[in-house]
Structure 1
Amino acid sequence: MTIQYGEDLNELIDTITRAVGANDLTTLATAIAGPPTSELVVVCERLTEHQRAVMYRLLPKQQALELFEALSPALQSDLVRGLQDAEVANVFSELDPDDRVWLLDELPAAVAPRLLRGLSERERQMTSELLGYPVHSIGRRMSPEYVSTHLGLTAAQTLMRVSARLDDAETVYTLPVLDDGRRVVGVVGLRDLLGADDEQLVDALMRTPQTIAATAKAEAAARRCAENGLLALPVVDSESRLVGILTIDDAIRILEQEESEDSARQGGVEPLRRPYLSTPILKLVRSRVIWLLVLAIGATLTVQVLSVFESTLEQATVLALFVPLLIGTGGNTGNQAATTVTRALALDDVRPSDLVRVLTRELRVGSALGVLLGAIGFTIAGLVYDPRIGLTIGLTLVAVCTVAATIGGIMPLVARAIRVDPAVFSNPFITTFVDATGLIIYFLIARAILQI
C-alpha cells in the first residue's frame, strides 16, 4: 500500500532522526505519540536500523504490535536484531502463525529454534507445521487459524462457531464445509448464514468449493485467489483434508512480492525485498554488481563481432553511425517480447507447451515491426546518405526485429521448461544476445549490398 506524505511527515522523520542522534527520548516520545500506525510504517522505512529500534521501544504496546505486523518481513528481521530477547519474544508470540513464518524466512536459521521455544505449545505446533512445507509453497503462507463448519449443522449452529472464534480466526467471511473425514465439500459465506433461517442446514447454503493443494506454488495459489475474487481459498492436503486457508490480503501480499522480484530481475538486479531508503549501501551494491559482471562478460561478444568486421567498417565508415540504432532497436524489440510473454506466463495465459504458437506469433509481430521501422530507416538513410546504405539499414531492421522478437518471445518459455525464473533468463541476456546477433546480420547484409 502506498502512503502519500508531504512536508509534515518529512518533518516528523527529521525530528525523530535528530532526537535519536541527541538521545533526546522525551522529544522522540512526543513526536511519535500522535501519528497513526500507517504513517509510522512509512517513517520506519526511511530510518536506519538503530533509529527504528529506539523509536519502536517508545511506542505503546498495542501500537508497537500493530506497527510490527504492518512492516515487511525484511524490516521485521532488522527490528528483531535491534531489540532485546524479551521484546522479541513478546512481539513474536503476538504474530499470526503465517506471519511468523514470513519473519523466520528472513532471519538466520539459528534464530528460529530460540524464538519457537518462547511460544506456547499450541502456537509452536501451528508454526512448526507451516515450516514443514516446502519453501515457496502455499502451505508455508497459509493460515491454520480458520473457522469451518460441517455437513448437517444448521445456520444458527455455524454462527455460534463463528462467534466463538472471532478473536483468533484469520477470517470469518468464507467458511469451508467439511464432511466427517475433514474433507472440503463446499464453502458458505457469512452473508448467506446471516440471511438464512436458524434451522436451515448448511448443506442447502453451501456452494461448490475451490481448493488448492498445500504443496502448490504460493504465487499460483495467490493468483488463483485474486483472479477468482475469493475472500479465502481453502488449502488441502493430498487427501483433500483441510489444513488451512489463504485469505485475499495474504494473496495480494504474495503477488506484490513476486511482482517486485520479477521487475527487479528483468532490470538485471537482485530484488531488495525491502524499501529502498532502508536498504544498506553494501546490499544495493551486491544486488547489482553480479549482474553487471555477467552482462559485461556477455558484451564481449559484441566487441568480438566488431573486431571480425573491422575491415568492413574501414571501407564504409558510415556503417558505424548506425550501430547504436540497430542494436538498440533489436534489444528493445526483444525486451518487449520477453516482458509480454513473461507476464503471460505469470498469468498462466501461455505454457511451455505453447512454444511453437508463441514463436509463430512473435515471428509475425517482429517481421511486421521490422517492415515498418525498415521502411522509415530506408527512406531517411537513403535520402541523407545513399540508396544502398538506406537499403542496408532497412533490410537489417527487418531482420533484427524479426530475430529479436522471436528470441525474446521463446526465451521465457524455455526458462520455465528448464525450471529457471523467466525474469532472470530474459531481458538482460536477450539484450546481450541480440546485440551480437544484430551486428552479424548488419555486416553480412552490408557486405552483400555494398560489395565490400
Structure 2
Amino acid sequence: MATLNVAEVVHELGRLGATDRAVAFRLLAKDRAVEVFEDLDPALQAELVASLHGHAAAIFAALDPDDRAALLDEVPAGVARRLLAALPPDEHAATTALLGYPEDSAGRRMSPEVVAVPVGTTVGDTIAQVRAAGDDAETVYVVPVVADGRRVRGVVSLRRLVLTDPATPVDAVMSPATTVRATDDAEHAANVVRDGGFVGVPVVDGEDRLVGVLTVDDAMRVLEAEDDEDSARTGGAEPLRRPYLSVSVLGLVRSRVVWLLMLIVAASLTVGVQSYFEDELAQVVALALFVPLLIGTGGNAGSQAATTVVRASAVGDVRTGDVARVVGREMLTGLLLGLTLATVGVGPAMLVAGPAIGLVLALTVVAVCTLATTVGSSVPLLAKRVGIDPAIVSAPFISTFVDTTGLIVYFSIAKAVLGI
C-alpha cells in the first residue's frame, strides 16, 4: 500500500475482512496510519480499535474532536471511557463537549478548534493569529470575527486577508456571517454549507456565541451518509453504514429481513382483496390475466413519485408546506401518465379479452396511476411533517399500498362496467 494515496488505502481496507484489515493497518507508518484512520467509516474504526490494543489510545488522541465523537458512538462504553481517560485534559474537554450535543446535531459534527479574532483586530494581527494557531485549527480558510462574549459578527476569508493591507481593521473587510446552531439537525446544517458554497460555517449556541465550525468536508460526509440512508430505505433495507464487502452475510440479512417481514404482512392485504372478489374472478376469469400488469404499473408509478419527492425534499427543493402544490402537480402527472398508458394498452387488451375488458383495463390504469402518484407524493411529505423519515414510508410501502387499493379500484370498475 506504500504507492497508494490515503483515499485509495481507505478504499482497499474497506474491501478486506476484519483480520486482514487489522494486519494491513498495522503495516502503515504512524503518521500515515492516523490519516487513514481519520477517513475510515466509524464502524471500521471501532473494529480496528479492538485490534490495536496499546496503539489505540495514541491514534485516538491524534484525531480531531469531531472524529473522536463519531468513533465513541461505535465502541462499547468501557472502551470509550478508557479512550477518553487517556486524553490530555484540554482534548478530553473538547471531545466531551461535543458528546453533550444530540447525536444527529450540527454540534456533534462541528470542530471546536477554530481561529476567531475580535472586532477591531487588524488584518496583520489576524494573519499572525492564523499562523500561530493554524496547525491546531480544523480550517483557516474562513475566520469568524467576534464581539464581546464570542458573539459572531462576521467572517473573513483567508484570501481577503492576504489581499488586504495589514493595517486595515478586519471588521472593515469581513462579510456577513451565515451561521447554524449547534442544536440544528446535522443534515440541515450540511445543506447550508453546500447550498451557500461555503468552506466552513460558524456554529453558535442559543445565545449566538461561537462554539465551533462546520467545515465543507464534514458537511459532505453528513450528506453522503444521509443519501446512503435514504437510498437504502427507499429500496426496503437498513443502511449498511460501512463498505459492502466488510459486511458479513448475517449483517446483510439483518439489514433486510425486518423490512421484508413487514412488507409480507402488508402484501397479505392484496391476497385479502383478491379473496374478497373471488366470485367476480370466477365469473370473468379474464380479469385475473391483468392483475400482475395493474399491480406492477401502480407500484412503479407510486415508487417514481415517492422517490422524486423524497429526493426533492432532501435537497430542499420542496418543503412540508408545499404538500398541496406537490400533490396537485403529481395528481395531474398521474392522470396524464394513465391516459398515455391506457391509450397504448387498450388495443392489445381488447384483442386478448374483448372490448368490455379493454374498457375496464383502460379506466383502471388511469385511476391507478392517478392514485399512485397522489399517494406517492403526499405520504413522504406528511411523514416528514410529523417527524418520520420520509424514506421509511416511501417506495416499498407505497407500492404495497397502491397494489391493494389498485385491486379494489380494478374490481369495483369491473363490477360496474361488466355488471357482475
* TM bucket, shorter chain: over 0.9
Q: Which amino acid aligns with 2:18?
A: E
Q: Which amino acid aligns with 2:23?
A: V
Deviations 1:332-357 (A, max 9, x none): 11111111111122122222222222
Q: Which residue of 1 aligns with 2:79?
A: 111
In the aligned structure 2, how far is the partner of 1:233 from the partner of 1:33?
35
Alignment equivalent of 2:51, drawn from 82, 87, 104: 82
In the aligned structure 1, how far is the partner of 2:4 from the partner of 2:168?
47
Q: Which amino acid aligns with 2:212?
A: G
Q: Which amino acid aligns with 2:144?
A: P
Q: Which residue of 2 aligns with 1:58?
A: 27
Deviations 1:308-344 (A, max 9, x none): 1112112222111111110111011111111111112
In the aligned structure 2, how far is the partner of 1:136 from the partner of 1:429?
25
Q: Percent identity?
A: 55
TM-superposed CA distance for 1:256, in Å, is 0.2
Q: Which residue of 1 aligns with 2:9?
A: 40
Q: Report which stretch shifted further, 355-364 or 388-397.
A: 355-364
TM-superposed CA distance for 1:35, in Å, is 3.4
Higher relative contact order (CA 8 A, sep 6+): 2
Asked if residue 275 in structure 1 is aligned to residue 243 in structure 2, the reply is yes
Equivalence map 1:377-392=2 (5 Å) = 377-392=345-360
Q: Which amino acid aligns with 1:175?
A: V
Aligned residues: 420
In the aligned structure 2, how far is the partner of 1:249 from the partner of 1:313?
59
Q: Which amino acid aligns with 1:170?
A: E
Alignment equivalent of 1:288, drawn from 231, 253, 256: 256
TM-superposed CA distance for 1:369, in Å, is 1.0
Asked if residue 182 in structure 1 is aligned to residue 170 in structure 2, the reply is no
TM-superposed CA distance for 1:42, in Å, is 1.9
Contact 1:98 1:127 in 2 (8 A): yes
Asked if residue 405 in structure 1 is aligned to residue 373 in structure 2, the reply is yes
Q: Which amino acid aligns with 2:154?
A: G
Equivalence map 1:6-17=2 (5 Å) = none
Asked if residue 167 in structure 1 is aligned to residue 167 in structure 2, the reply is no
TM-superposed CA distance for 1:150, in Å, is 1.6
Q: Which residue of 1 aligns with 2:277?
A: 309
Q: Which residue of 2 aligns with 1:24?
A: none
Alignment equivalent of 2:319, drawn from 345, 351, 373: 351
Q: Name the TM-score, length of structure 1 as normaliser.
A: 0.91
Partner of 1:166: helix, strand, or coil? helix
Contact 1:376 1:394 in 2 (8 A): no
Q: Which residue of 2 aligns with 1:49?
A: 18
TM-superposed CA distance for 1:62, in Å, is 1.3
In the aligned structure 1, how far is the partner of 2:154 from the partner of 2:41?
34
Partner of 2:387: helix, strand, or coil? coil
Asked if residue 443 in structure 1 is aligned to residue 404 in structure 2, the reply is no
Q: Which amino acid aligns with 2:396?
A: P
TM-superposed CA distance for 1:39, in Å, is 2.5
Partner of 1:186: helix, strand, or coil? strand
Deviations 1:170-216 (A, max 9, x none): 11111111012210000101111111111011111001110011100
Unpaired runs of at least 5, structure 2? none
Partner of 1:216: helix, strand, or coil? coil
Cα 1:63/1:425, change in 2 over 3 Å = same
Partner of 1:175: helix, strand, or coil? strand
Contact 1:49 1:82 in 2 (8 A): no
TM-superposed CA distance for 1:259, in Å, is 0.2
TM-superposed CA distance for 1:451, in Å, is 1.8
TM-superposed CA distance for 1:280, in Å, is 1.2
Q: Which amino acid aligns with 1:120?
A: P
Equivalence map 1:127-146=2 (5 Å) = 127-146=95-114
In the aligned structure 1, how far is the partner of 2:5 from the partner of 2:373?
49
Q: Name the TM-score, length of structure 2 as normaliser.
A: 0.98
Partner of 1:110: helix, strand, or coil? helix
Q: Which amino acid aligns with 2:289?
A: L
Contact 1:225 1:231 in 2 (8 A): yes
TM-superposed CA distance for 1:400, in Å, is 0.2
In the aligned structure 2, how far is the partner of 1:442 from the partner of 1:134?
48
